[in-house]
Structure 1
Amino acid sequence: MVSLPAAPGQQRSTLLALLAERAYRLGDFTLASGRHSEHYVNCKPVSLSGTGLALLGRRMLAEVEAEAVAVAGLTLGADPLVSAVALQAALEGRCLDALIVRKEAKGHGTGAWLEGPLPPAGSRITVLEDVVTTGGSALKAVSQLQEAGYRVDRVVAIVDRQEGGAEAMEEAGLDLRSLFLLEEVAATAAGLAGPAG
């Protein structure tokens, strides 16, 4: 049986170690934004693990606005995150639903952009994201939610790559809350790798 740390500080350090070990790579990479980088972060090996989901559910829920009635995010990266946060909320006695924002409208049936139990128009929703680079994915999710009549003021991300995403969010009037900065994950990964040579 896996034992999760109870203290928030220990949860954070355990999650950081998981990200550094399973999600981070150093090399030469082309990112989804088209940019080149020596840093690559793919949170799915963490967000699709039982321990990672449990820790992310707790840590991300703590950043969701008290007034939010749902969390939402762009498929595919946010799918496990919205599920984990909604489940953790239920375990804590809070009613918070999960919504998934499609990358394009459903090609049949209702042609919907959003999947899940839709709250009334005007409701506040917090957007979840795995990695923020330029902020494009999160901003697309925010745009679809706002077009559907919802209020979105905050984006909660696992990792901010520190490449303009925070500035793009601020320019859009959004509050970005990141659990970790890329420099922190990279430094931890370097520490785990030990001295070179």
Structure 2
Amino acid sequence: MTEDEVLAEFRASRALLEGHFKLSSGLHTAHYLQCARVLMDAERAAKLAISLVHKIPRDLRHSIDKVISPAMGGIIIGHEMGRALGKEAMFVERPTGTFELRRGFTLTPGEKILVVEDVVTTGLSSREAIKAIEEAGGNVVALASLVDRSGGEVAFDVPFYPLVALNFPTWPEDQIPPELAAKPVEKPGSRKN
């Protein structure tokens, strides 16, 4: 899928929002991608996952043992990536503030893991998920996401494969432009901040 086709899917599902949003990273923006909306249609989610799978080099995708996503946002796209790759899909969650495998999910030491996110902005959640997976014995071989909105500012110790890169401006709390600050703030993400 081209960037325009991906954005068309977000627009068709009313998942591209405009206003004043505080992201889970703490940054503020005038645009928010509500990936849960774009993924609520199973056929659309499958189509996006298949397109994302094709961003990953063939030899790498054939070496993957399992797919793991951070809860909440990554669960649906991670599941669909698992389906597209023919691999088990699991997730890490933060019951006490730190990512961990729960619900009977386990890894065999050295298993090759693809981490799948919905959106990467600062990369913090991805790094935390990777750390938890490695501590559980997994060997993270790549990270994939529907959207990279980092503006190219994020680097990982593994290859990163986004379906689309969008560069909506973001600002820290103390640098919000006056026209954005005048709008009421929404916190649509899954973390309280």
Using structure 2 for the length normalisation, give the TM-score. Answer: 0.73
Q: Deviations over 1:144-194 (max 9, x none)?
A: 10001111131101011124xx54433xx121111011149xxxxxxxxxx
Q: Does 1:132 pair with 2:120? A: yes
5+ residue gaps in structure 1?
A: 1-8, 91-95, 106-111, 185-197
Q: Which residue of 2 aligns with 1:187?
A: none
Deviation at 1:104? 2.9
SS of 1:104's equivalent in the other structure is: coil
Deviation at 1:53? 1.5
Deviation at 1:125? 0.1
RMSD (Å), alpha carbons: 2.5
Q: Deviations over 1:107-126 (max 9, x none)?
A: xxxxx624465342101101
Equivalent runs, 1:26-175 vs 2, <5 Å: 26-62=18-54, 63=56, 65-90=61-86, 96-104=87-95, 113-115=101-103, 118-163=106-151, 166-170=152-156, 173-175=157-159
Mapped to 2, the partners of 1:14 and 1:116 lie a distance apart of 38
In the alignment, residue 73 of structure 2 is paired with which amino acid? Answer: G
Mapped to 2, the partners of 1:125 and 1:158 lie a distance apart of 17
5+ residue gaps in structure 2?
A: 169-193
Aligned length: 161
Q: Does 1:20 pair with 2:11? A: yes
Mapped to 2, the partners of 1:114 and 1:157 lie a distance apart of 22
Q: Which residue of 2 aligns with 1:177?
A: 161
The answer to whether the Cα contact below 8 Å between 2:78 and 2:117 also exists between their aligned partners in 1 is no
Mapped to 2, the partners of 1:55 and 1:23 lie a distance apart of 16
CA change 1:116–1:66 in 2 (3 A) is: farther
Using structure 1 for the length normalisation, give the TM-score. Answer: 0.71
In the alignment, residue 58 of structure 1 is paired with which amino acid? Answer: I
Mapped to 1, the partners of 2:167 and 2:155 lie a distance apart of 19
Mapped to 2, the partners of 1:16 and 1:66 lie a distance apart of 28
Compare the two structures and name the one with the higher helix fraction.
Answer: 1
CA change 1:154–1:81 in 2 (3 A) is: same
Deviation at 1:43? 0.7
Deviation at 1:13? 5.2
In the alignment, residue 161 of structure 2 is paired with which amino acid? Answer: R
CA change 1:181–1:116 in 2 (3 A) is: farther
